[in-house]
Amino acid sequence: MPIITRRKLLLASAGGLIISLTPFARASTGADIVASRIWPATAYTRVTLESTSPIQYKYFQLTAPNRLVIDIQGEANNQVLRELSQKVLPLDPYIASVRIGQFNPETIRIVMDLKTTVNPQIFTLQPVANFKNRLVIDLYPSTSVALAQEANDPLMALLQDYSHGKINSDGTTLAQAAAPTPPVPTTPAAKPPVIDQTPLPSKSNTNKRQPVIMIDPGHGGEDPGATGPSGLHEKNVVLAIAREVKKQLDAQGYRTYMTRNEDIFIPLGVRVAKARKLKADLFMSIHADAFTNPSAKGTGVYALNPKGATSAAAKYLAQTQNAADAIGGVQYSSDKNVNNTLFDLTQTATINDSLKLGKIMLNHLGQINKLHKGTVDQANFAVLKAPDIPSILIETAFISNPTEEKLLSTDAFRQKAATSIANGVKDYLSGAVLARR
Ligand SMILES: [Zn+2]
């Protein structure tokens, strides 16, 4: 056959070696790629391969033009892997195209043609939840590109820090953790209201700092959150509600930010770090609840309890939500503990403010849906750990309940939920201002 003859010639002239030309060389391990995904986003693009066995890999970069080459050993080149090429979207900020070929009988070569220089972070993850062995290829912008983008979004720099292992679970950086800022030297009871320096926007006070509100849509990217009986994903519902909250608060002159505004996985510690970097006055994580029993229903609001939980249900919920990092896939486990005793005084006052905010929020949300429980429950939620920012987690409704899943799928309910949340924020902030007078 002329084609093989030509290929033999090429191989012979290129390397002086003729390797096996078995057309469907299959690795002896029997490992199979069972899923391939690409999550393009401004902050970073993630490529995930999932295999029945741990994935062995090597990689290197080439310039002019920019390429990232990943060699995978012991996996068969199958349809799932080849489909990766078709999953590149034109809007992907980093990947122009992906080519996949059998480099030698034991090696599959993936070549990513890049649109810009990148800082790749490549790591494997052990099986967790519904995922098998994963190889994660995160393409962050190279430092110079990231610096240019930081002007628009401080998340860029935080993700850069994170990609170098510099962010802790509570949102502090490694430098901060080494020398924690001492707490305000007052007793918790004497601590001024959290927005003491931040009066509401008003015409007479336009030169003063406005309250900063951080809205955190839960989950994203690889981590879908809970999935309803008809297939609705929590990550999409809560992003829609969060965008509406932002829209409504922006329209009233508040300064609002979102931890994510794309279908992207953001580690819990980075969400907290973003709130701290922007000196947020309050932090709201928006979710949709799920339970094994489909009859569980209602809206709930949660605050932090760093040392325990006020109920078994709250403890269970915190565990499932804290699993987001394992499911979404973090390269660095965030177990580097800061010296929590130094934060205790500040944190006690912050938690009191969180409970106040949570109670106000329950009053508003109780007008649009039954409450799961009439009080603010507490547990050790990783995303609520900013020691100095009142933080709550809102479970808008149970996505695992067929009736509430339908509610969550409608624009009408999403808007009502957003209005309740926005009104809760306004009430809380005006209450804090009144308390100061
Ligand atoms: Zn959630």
Tens of pLDDT, residue by residue over 175-194, are 544 333 333 333 333 333 33
Distance 292 CA to ligand 1 centre (A): 14
396 three-state secondary structure: strand
Report angle CA 172, 192, 202 to the nearest 5 degrees: 95
Distance 317 CA to ligand 1 centre (A): 9
Distance 234 CA to ligand 1 centre (A): 7
* One-letter identity of residue 297: K
Distance 154 CA to ligand 1 centre (A): 24
pLDDT (0 to 100) of residue 420:
98
Distance 311 CA to ligand 1 centre (A): 18
Tens of pLDDT, residue by residue over 359-372, are 999 999 999 999 99
113 three-state secondary structure: strand
Distance 107 CA to ligand 1 centre (A): 39
Tens of pLDDT, residue by residue over 350-403, are 999 999 999 999 999 999 999 999 899 999 999 999 999 999 999 999 999 999
Distance 324 CA to ligand 1 centre (A): 8
Mean pLDDT, the chain, rounded, equals: 83
Residue 195 has pLDDT above 90, yes or no: no
pLDDT (0 to 100) of residue 29:
57
Supply 187's token pair: 């007793």
Distance 250 CA to ligand 1 centre (A): 25
Distance 177 CA to ligand 1 centre (A): 27
Distance 299 CA to ligand 1 centre (A): 13
Supply 9's token pair: 């010639």
Nearest to 135 by CA among 26, 78, 50: 50
229 three-state secondary structure: coil
**What separation in angstroms does the CA of 315 have from each of 239, 350, 382?**
24, 20, 12
- Let me know: does 259 contact 155? Beta carbons within 8 Å: yes
- Let me know: does 225 contact 238? Beta carbons within 8 Å: yes
Supply 168's token pair: 């802790």
How far is the C-alpha of 242 from the C-alpha of 215, rounded, in Å? Answer: 6
Report angle CA 301, 304, 309 to the nearest 5 degrees: 90
How far is the C-alpha of 347 from the C-alpha of 384, rounded, in Å? Answer: 11
How far is the C-alpha of 341 from the C-alpha of 297, rounded, in Å? Answer: 37
pLDDT, greater one: 17 or 209: 209
**Lowest mean pLDDT: which of 15-19, 61-65, 85-89?**
15-19
Distance 407 CA to ligand 1 centre (A): 17
Distance 217 CA to ligand 1 centre (A): 9
Distance 226 CA to ligand 1 centre (A): 6
pLDDT (0 to 100) of residue 210:
86
- Let me know: does 257 contact 212? Beta carbons within 8 Å: yes
**Lowest mean pLDDT: which of 222-226, 240-244, 276-280, 411-415?**
276-280
pLDDT (0 to 100) of residue 150:
64
Distance 40 CA to ligand 1 centre (A): 22
Token pair 């979207």: residue: 89
Distance 290 CA to ligand 1 centre (A): 8
Distance 310 CA to ligand 1 centre (A): 19
How far is the C-alpha of 356 from the C-alpha of 375, rounded, in Å? Answer: 11
pLDDT (0 to 100) of residue 334:
54
pLDDT (0 to 100) of residue 234:
98
Distance 360 CA to ligand 1 centre (A): 21
Burial (CB < 10 A; 0-12, 13-18, 19+), residue 64, is exposed
Distance 232 CA to ligand 1 centre (A): 13
List alpha helices for 300-369, DSSP H. Answer: 312-322, 324-328, 340-365
pLDDT, greater one: 165 or 300: 300
pLDDT band at 162 (very low <50, low <70, confident <90, very high): confident
> What are 284's strand-pairing partners?
215, 392
- Let me know: does 417 contact 396? Beta carbons within 8 Å: yes
Question: Count of CB atoms within 10 A of residue 354's CB?
Answer: 28
Residue 327 has pLDDT above 90, yes or no: yes
Distance 308 CA to ligand 1 centre (A): 19
Residue 154 has pLDDT above 90, yes or no: no
How far is the C-alpha of 130 from the C-alpha of 290, rounded, in Å? Answer: 16
Burial (CB < 10 A; 0-12, 13-18, 19+), residue 198, is buried
Distance 297 CA to ligand 1 centre (A): 15
Distance 318 CA to ligand 1 centre (A): 9
